[in-house]
Structure 1
Amino acid sequence: MLPMVLNSTNSTKYLNRSFGRIPSLLLGILSFLLIAIAQIKSPFVQGERKDFIAPLPMMERFSFGYSETLADLMWVRALQDFDYCDQSVGENICRNNSWLYQMLDTITNLSPQFRIPYAAGALALTVIITDVDGATKIFDKGVRAFPNDWPILYRAAYHYMYEVKDNKRAAELLIQAAKNGAPPWVFNLAGRLYSDAGNLELAESVLQDMINTKQDPGLVKRLQGKIQSMKNK
């Protein structure tokens, strides 16, 4: 017959072995449940790819201390399909609040100080798939999270100028960028933003920054196409 009471040393070792595995176990159960629920809540058309599952709302409330890890995993997943549009509403125009937007929104909720989803993810929304509303929301979150990060600020200015057609807001963002380390010519660009020449100059400066920082080739190619379209007009 097994002893009914363990001595204190063995008891401690047993508890450590047993409960030390609980966080990992919980994370595994959580991941399984989130995927299962998402599958149930996301019906698919016959033959459609089944890995474009939008995150559950308020996922950050179910991260159980693993929010940064989940954000990293979701970012790696989003990177694989920066050009994916789940529903086109026009030529090279995706529906608002697309799959990519939902991924980026959840990532930035899980990890609000994760910079690259704001800097590169929002740019993908506006440049590659043209989810204007989604890009606006992610850029606005990025500006709030990183108010002194001038590359984010002037990429947001490009979005407001080119897609939202709000030159006043774009000029404000450029001035904010200039006050936080952007090159001095950005001040002058803010003043010229109300002309077609100013619009083109901002777009080309964003393109050059993307090339210099070795951004995703798809982003560079798509922005080059948009700039050429501006020149043709």
Structure 2
Amino acid sequence: MRGQSAIMGVLLALAVGGVVELGPRLEERVVAYQQREETVWLPSAATLKRWSFGFEGLLADLYWLRAVQYYGRRAFRPGARFEQLDALLELVTTLDPHFLAAYRFGAIFLALPPPQGAGRPDRALALLDRGIAANPEEWRLLLDKGFVLLWDVRDYAKAAEVFLQVSRHPRAPTWTWDLAAAVYARAGRREIARRIWRDRLEHGESEQVRE
């Protein structure tokens, strides 16, 4: 009996080990299958806008929900791909160029590294640039661009330039000046950082700082 129990124990351990080892592989196959099943044909943004019959806003909302669902089903899953995310976001923002949430959250979805996101900060920047062009009064889009450059691209000099642009916006909070100065210092351009801080001390929200 003891011999049989020992054999059963060994077999059980091997079975459990096999399940543990195969688990990640099975999950990857399930994810790949789900992605194949969810791949859908998307019309071009221009075509959809032309045939929207005045319901651009409603269609933008529907495709935004689709984009969020598309992202949510893939985020944090090893091996997941986000091949249609960029196209979905382009549809949304073409239908409604003032859909700020689509620009801001869409840029996060695109910029986050895998498996959290698509790992495409270049596409995130392109999306934000379109948003900035369509909504020049929205300083938050410019701020988001700066953070993508800072956190995802690691281009501190360009990020600092963008943050300085943000700080000069009439509706931007004053802390954006300090943010610009701090990132300039991180980029090794300490003289510009000192000038920004000195200007803040002497003139408050003055816009006299120039490179």
TM-score per shorter chain, which class?
Answer: 0.5 to 0.7
Change (3 A) 1:92 1:194: farther
Asked if the contact 2:56–2:96 (Cα under 8 Å) also holds between the matched residues in 1, the reply is yes
Greater share of helix: 2
CA distance, structure 2, for counterparts of residue 49 and residue 92 of structure 1: 13
Find the residue that maps to 1:64 and give its secondary structure: coil
Q: 2:181 aligns with which of 191, 206, 211?
A: 191
Q: 1:141 aligns with which of 130, 141, 147?
A: 130
Structure 1 stretches lacking a partner, 5+ long:
1-44, 199-233
Structure 2 partner of 1:221: none
CA distance, structure 1, for counterparts of residue 95 and residue 180 of structure 2: 34
Provide the aligned C-alpha RMSD in A.
Answer: 3.1
Letter in 2 for 1:187: W
Query: Shift of residue 46 of structure 1?
Result: 6.4
State which structure, 1 or 2, has the greater radius of gyration over its C-alpha atoms. Answer: 2
Letter in 2 for 1:147: P
1:96-148: per-residue Cα shift (whole Å, max 9, x none)? xx311111111101111111101222122213412222211111111112222
Letter in 1 for 2:177: F
1:182 aligns with 2:172: yes
Structure 2 partner of 1:131: 120
1:190-211: per-residue Cα shift (whole Å, max 9, x none)? 122145599xxxxxxxxxxxxx
CA distance, structure 1, for counterparts of residue 79 and residue 128 of structure 2: 20
1:134-168: per-residue Cα shift (whole Å, max 9, x none)? 21111111111222222222111010122233333
1:99-110 to 2 correspondences below 5 Å? 99-110=84-95
Query: Shift of residue 54 of structure 1?
Result: 5.1
Query: Shift of residue 182 of structure 1?
Result: 2.6
Structure 2 stretches lacking a partner, 5+ long:
1-31, 189-211
CA distance, structure 2, for counterparts of residue 92 and residue 194 of structure 1: 37
Structure 1 partner of 2:43: 56
CA distance, structure 1, for counterparts of residue 33 and residue 147 of structure 2: 39
Change (3 A) 1:155 1:46: closer
TM-score w.r.t. length of structure 1: 0.54
Query: Shift of residue 78 of structure 1?
Result: 1.4
Asked if the contact 1:68–1:110 (Cα under 8 Å) also holds between the matched residues in 2, the reply is yes
Change (3 A) 1:56 1:76: same
1:150-169 to 2 correspondences below 5 Å? 150-169=139-158
CA distance, structure 2, for counterparts of residue 56 and residue 182 of structure 1: 37
Find the residue that maps to 1:183 and give its secondary structure: coil
Find the residue that maps to 1:53 and give its secondary structure: coil
Asked if the contact 2:167–2:180 (Cα under 8 Å) also holds between the matched residues in 1, the reply is no
User: How many residues end up aligned between the 2 structures?
Assistant: 149
CA distance, structure 2, for counterparts of residue 176 and residue 146 of structure 1: 15
Change (3 A) 1:84 1:134: farther
CA distance, structure 2, for counterparts of residue 100 and residue 47 of structure 1: 15
CA distance, structure 2, for counterparts of residue 182 and residue 196 of structure 1: 22
